[in-house]
Amino acid sequence: MNIDDPHDRSPANRSRRRFIAGTIAAGVGIQGGFQIARAEDSDIYPSKMITIVVPFSAGGTTDILARLIGQKLAERWKVPVVIENKVGAGGNIGTAYVARSAANGYTLVLGTIGTHAINSSLYRNMPYDALKDFAPITRTAMVPNALVVNANAPFNTVRELIEYGKANPGKLVFGSSGHGSTLQMSGELFKMMTQVEMIHVPYKGSSPAVIDLLSNQISMIFDNMPSALPYVKTGKFKALAVTSSKRVAQLPEVPTMAEAGVPGYEVMSWFGLWAPAKTPGQIVEKLNKAVVEVLALPDVQQKIREQGAIPFPESPAEFEGFIRSESEKWSKVVKAAKLTAL
């Protein structure tokens, strides 16, 4: 007697077939139940605490943005929104944690240009795929950098800086907030586009780099606007250009890098919100709609601008396209500069 033989009409085989058919039907029912539950979960989302992981230390721009957005979402949805700082490996530890989390919209990451566009080219063994392991929700903010030099530097424009660098190969030294930081990437892109030979000195944060620029130990920094602005306003630094495509309100007299003689140069630090891949589209859309509305609130916009940032909400599709273009851009820079993570 063969259970797989359709011509076997014995009572025992009929019983087995009824059992298998019942099991299959039950399986279909269970699967359908899961699908219904998934749809219901999307309909009632959010119904419990949401965690936004910040892969950097408390107090930085990423953390401030997460807490600002989290507070407004909690007020809107009447559920707790907790900010959890998971620090390490250039943001990779916290970001990887979210990639491995349940795809239900209750664990998100407030990431950056580093975690989702630079690190994949910089680190040899990435614990996540920045494009495949996440569902983009929205970009949240952009931060321009400024090319600043000491007030007593022998150059007053970007063109003069380039001329000096080409006449004195290797004498220009630019500092950054660390290996693989956007400050370093800004300098590496400048090197690549101008063919000026410069030496990079990575610091542990931008503050030590600023101190050395004040004492003329280094030549220049592509510094974040909030850090550079006070020194420019007090005349201790000269801002030769901003790295955005348009001039910034805080320094309206300072040209863009393109205006200053490096056409096509644009670097902006940016921040965004992601859910794990396979998060239901309905939940992603709910999150996008809510965060976009939060970013449009006047008090939120004011607080973001106080950080030297520009609110920049967009659709999930727009954000995904932007991430891909940024990843390609910085991959070329990392390869050209022959960089690897320390």
Write the CATH number for 71. Answer: 3.40.190.150
Mean pLDDT confidence for 258-276: 96
Percent of the chain with pLDDT over 70: 87
Same domain, 161 and 134: no
Read off the pLDDT band of 342 (50, 70, 90).
Answer: low
Query: Which secondary-structure segment (H or E) carries 110?
Result: strand 107-112
Same domain, 85 and 150: no
User: Would you tell me how many other CB atoms lie within 10 Å of the CB of residue 152?
Assistant: 8
Residue 28 lies inside a defined structural domain of this protein: no
The three-state DSSP-derived secondary structure of 171-214 is: CEEEEECCCCCHHHHHHHHHHHHHCCCEEEEECCCHHHHHHHHH
Q: What is the mean pLDDT of the chain?
A: 89
Q: How far apart, in whole angstroms, are the C-alpha atoms of residue 40 and residue 55?
A: 31
Mean pLDDT confidence for 85-103: 96
Q: What is the DSSP secondary-structure string of 111-129?
A: EEHIIIIIHHHH-SS-SS-
User: Would you say residue 35 has pLDDT above 50?
Assistant: no
User: Would you say residue 170 has pLDDT above 60?
Assistant: yes
Q: How far apart, in whole angstroms, are the C-alpha atoms of residue 144 and residue 308?
A: 8
Q: Any idea what the Cα angle at residue 304 is, between residues 268 and 113, rounded to 5°?
A: 30
Of 324 and 90, the one with more pLDDT: 324
Same domain, 275 and 318: yes
Read off the pLDDT band of 38 (50, 70, 90).
Answer: low
Same domain, 187 and 127: no
Residue 122 lies inside a defined structural domain of this protein: yes
Residue 148 lies inside a defined structural domain of this protein: yes
Mean pLDDT confidence for 279-283: 97
User: Would you tell me how many other CB atoms lie within 10 Å of the CB of residue 230?
Assistant: 11
Q: Which of 169, 150, 171, 148 is nearest to 158 (CA)?
A: 148
Residue 101 lies inside a defined structural domain of this protein: yes
Domain that holds residue 227: 144-242
Q: Quick one: CA torsion of 117, 119, 121, 126, rounded to 10 degrees?
A: -120
> What is the Cα 123 distance to its own chain's centre?
16
User: Would you say residue 56 has pLDDT above 60?
Assistant: yes
Same domain, 137 and 149: no
Residue 35 lies inside a defined structural domain of this protein: no
What is residue 207's predicted lDDT score, i.e. its pLDDT? 87
Q: How far apart, in whole angstroms, are the C-alpha atoms of residue 154 and residue 173?
A: 14
- Using left for φ > 0, alpha for ψ between -120 and 50, and beta otherwise, residue 6 falls in alpha
Same domain, 211 and 299: no
Q: How far apart, in whole angstroms, are the C-alpha atoms of residue 37 and residue 31?
A: 10
As given in the structure block, the two tokens for residue 44 are: 């009632």
Q: What is the CATH number of the domain that holds 208?
A: 3.40.190.10
- Per DSSP, the chain holds a count of helices (H) and strands (E) of 12, 10
Do β-strands 50-54 and 172-176 pair in parallel, antiparallel, or remain unpaired?
unpaired
User: Would you say residue 14 has pLDDT above 50?
Assistant: no
Residue 330 lies inside a defined structural domain of this protein: yes
The overall pTM is greater than 0.85: no
Same domain, 108 and 150: no
Mean pLDDT confidence for 236-243: 97
Same domain, 216 and 274: no
Q: Give the chain's domain count.
A: 2
Same domain, 136 and 168: no
Residue 36 lies inside a defined structural domain of this protein: no
Same domain, 326 and 288: yes
Same domain, 129 and 158: no
Of the CA atoms within 13 Å of residue 213, those in its CB half-sphere come to 33
User: Would you say residue 103 has pLDDT above 50?
Assistant: yes
Residue 25 lies inside a defined structural domain of this protein: no
User: Would you say residue 24 has pLDDT above 70?
Assistant: no
User: Would you say residue 333 has pLDDT above 90?
Assistant: yes
Same domain, 124 and 159: no
Which residue shows structure tokens 């230390």?
A: 57
